[in-house]
Structure 1
Amino acid sequence: MYSETPQRTAVLVVEDEPLLRMDAVDMIEDAGFKTYQAGSADEALEVIRNSDDIGILFTDIDMPGSMDGLSLAACVHSDWPAISILIASGVVGVTDEKMPKGSKFYAKPYATSQIVRDMETISAAHVQGG
Structure 2
Amino acid sequence: MVAVEMLEVAGWTALEAADADEAMLLLERRSDIAVLFTDVDMPGSMDGFELATQVASRWPHIRLVLTSGRLRPSNDDVPDSGQFVAKPYRTSQLLEAFRNAG
TM-based fold match above 0.5: yes
The answer for the alignment partner of 1:110 in structure 2 is 89
* 1:43 and 2:12 are equivalent in the alignment: no
CA offsets, 1:40-68, max 9 Å, x none?
Answer: 11000000111111000010010121000
Distance in structure 1 (CA, Å) of the matches to 2:11 and 2:58: 27
Aligned pairs, number: 102
**Aligned equivalent of 2:48, options 63, 69, 78:** 69
The answer for the alignment partner of 1:88 in structure 2 is 67
Asked if structure 1 preserves the Cα contact closer than 8 Å seen for 2:83 and 2:97, the reply is no
Q: TM-score, normalised by structure 1?
A: 0.71
Distance in structure 1 (CA, Å) of the matches to 2:43 and 2:30: 23
Asked if structure 1 preserves the Cα contact closer than 8 Å seen for 2:64 and 2:80, the reply is no
Distance in structure 2 (CA, Å) of the matches to 1:97 and 1:114: 17
What is the deviation of 1:96? Answer: 4.6
Q: Relative contact order (C-alpha < 8 Å, sep 6+): which is higher?
A: 1
- Stretches of structure 2 that go unaligned for 5 or more consecutive residues are none
Q: TM-score, normalised by structure 2?
A: 0.88
Residue identity in the other structure for 2:43: P
Residue identity in the other structure for 1:44: A
Query: Matched residues, percent identical?
Result: 44
What is the deviation of 1:113? Answer: 1.1
Q: Name whichever structure is richer in helix by fraction.
A: 2
- Stretches of structure 1 that go unaligned for 5 or more consecutive residues are 1-21, 123-130
Q: Name whichever structure is richer in strand by fraction.
A: 1
What is the deviation of 1:90? Answer: 1.2
